[in-house]
Chains A and B, each alone.
Chain A
Amino acid sequence: MIDLAPAHKIGLSLKSPLMPAAGFWGYGPNRYAPLVSAELLGAIVTNPMTLRPRRAGPSAPVAEVDGGIILPVDLPNPGLKKIIRQNRKFWRRAPIPLIAHLPADAPDDLARTVSALDALAVFAGFELGLPPDASPADAALFTRTLIRNTDLPALVKLPFPGKPHLAEAALKAGAVALTLADAPPAAAGTTAGRFFGGGVHAQLLPHLQHAAETFPGTPIIACGGIHTPADVRACLQAGAIAAQLDSVFWANPQQVQQILRYAQGAKSDDPLPSP
Chain B
Amino acid sequence: MLKVENIKKSFGDNQVLQGVDIEVNKGDIVVILGPSGSGKTTLLRCLNFLEKADQGTMTFDDINTRLHGASKQVIAKVRKKTAFVFQNYNLFQNKTALQNVMEGLVIARKVPKAEAKERAKKALDKVGLADRYDYYPSQLSGGQQQRVGIARAIAVNPDVLIFDEPTSALDPELIGEVLAVMKKLANEGATMIIVTHEMTFAQEVASKVVFMDGGVIVEQGSAKQIFTAPKEERTAQFLRRVLKDYDYVI
A binds B: no
Q: Give me the interface of B with A, judged by CB distance under 8 Å.
A: none
A interface residues (Cβ-Cβ under 8 A, vs B): none
